[in-house]
Structure 1
């Protein structure tokens, strides 16, 4: 059986200069391109690691590199470099949409130990898994640009709310400049649905000088009207701008085309987030 590859020569020309160099000691690293294809094959098909085709190398190599580069931030740095190149070419739409999606977790995702070692300090104790009426699940909070491409991710347990994670996902929007200057962290507009309509979120965006386009749910409108004058004015809302919020829905649809992301089988949230970063890298390398 021949594995279908996803990394084109043009994509690899953008990714290859960003890959870590061989440390120059011990055994030489396996070919980076083949290893990335191996990881992509696993998450595209949602197959067990041991079923990796022989032509893509040893599954242990692909799995170790996925987790280690997730722990040391390599995947995030590669994505940041691609975002910086896109920003330098004025190819990022800074009307940002925020939303979340719940992904069912396979039973194999459960059972990881709480103490995963000092190398994995970013790993939460609950491993990003929650148990609700529907069973085990993970929630991915996504910020996308206006062209439905991911800018940042944040993983929580599946039963977690959207609003409490808003500031965390906004803090992960960080696009370095290609030259001098601080990284860009502030969109011009943020679009979000009614789940993010709170005084705290609106105040946070106002303090940062970001225009909020967030509709009010019916209960908040009713509470304000019942209070009369003391209820204050309704928050500004631009229905025409809100039509662009479908960008984050399309971005989530792109991510869930990868079956290994739509159904989580990873025991570690660190590995699952590393896979999200890899898919985002491939999306931005394809631009």
Structure 2
């Protein structure tokens, strides 16, 4: 049995937000989103996606399409809701990139830098006083933001 993340009360709030996008909305959208969250939570390759979520290639292709259309970003901005700006916190983390992840066709979208330790990207995030994410940006691993 799969351990799912989206509860019924969460889905009742999330479904109207997803319906606002110009996409075909069906009951499979919830399963698709569960599959993406499972992938992000476990860090497993797409090919290891449990069969209960459907074909891994279908899930990956839809995830990729939503990413290119900016749906994930817009959904994040809608979900974050009311912000508590009494205190804001900034943190960064470095993520190592595989050696074959560089040299994409579109260089301006690539946030992978080269350093002594290898290829890496850096995620900069700002959070409110409750630890809820407000915004984030990506940069090359060797870049230092101030």
Bigger relative contact order, structure 1 or 2, given CA contacts below 8 A and separation 6+?
1
SS at 1:152 equivalent: strand
Alignment partner, residue 35 of structure 1: 32
Q: State which drifts further: 9-18 or 62-71.
A: 62-71
Equivalent residue pairs, number: 143
Alignment partner, residue 124 of structure 1: 108
- Per-residue Cα deviation, 1:173-209 (whole angstroms, up to 9, x for no partner): xxxxxxxxxxxxxxxxxxxxxxxxxxxxxxxxxxxxx
Alignment partner, residue 9 of structure 2: 10
Structure 1 residues 30 and 7, CA, compared in 2 at 3 Å: closer, same or farther?
Answer: closer
* Residue ranges of structure 1 left out of the alignment (5+ in a row): 116-122, 164-287
Measured in 2, the distance between the counterparts of 1:17 and 1:112 equals: 39
Alignment partner, residue 271 of structure 1: none
User: Could you say which structure has the higher strand fraction?
Assistant: 2
TM-score, reference length from structure 1: 0.46
Of the three residues 94, 100, 117, the one matched with 1:134 is: 117
TM-score, reference length from structure 2: 0.85
Structure 1 residues 107 and 30, CA, compared in 2 at 3 Å: closer, same or farther?
Answer: farther
Structure 1 residues 97 and 29, CA, compared in 2 at 3 Å: closer, same or farther?
Answer: same
User: Could you say which structure has the higher helix fraction?
Assistant: 1
The root-mean-square deviation of aligned C-alpha atoms, in Å, is 2.1
Of the three residues 105, 126, 145, the one matched with 1:114 is: 105
Measured in 2, the distance between the counterparts of 1:93 and 1:63 equals: 34
Give the CA deviation at 1:134.
1.8
Please identify the structure whose Cα radius of gyration is greater. Answer: 1
Of the three residues 62, 69, 74, the one matched with 2:71 is: 74
Is the 8 Å Cα contact of residues 35 and 61 (structure 1) preserved in structure 2? Answer: no
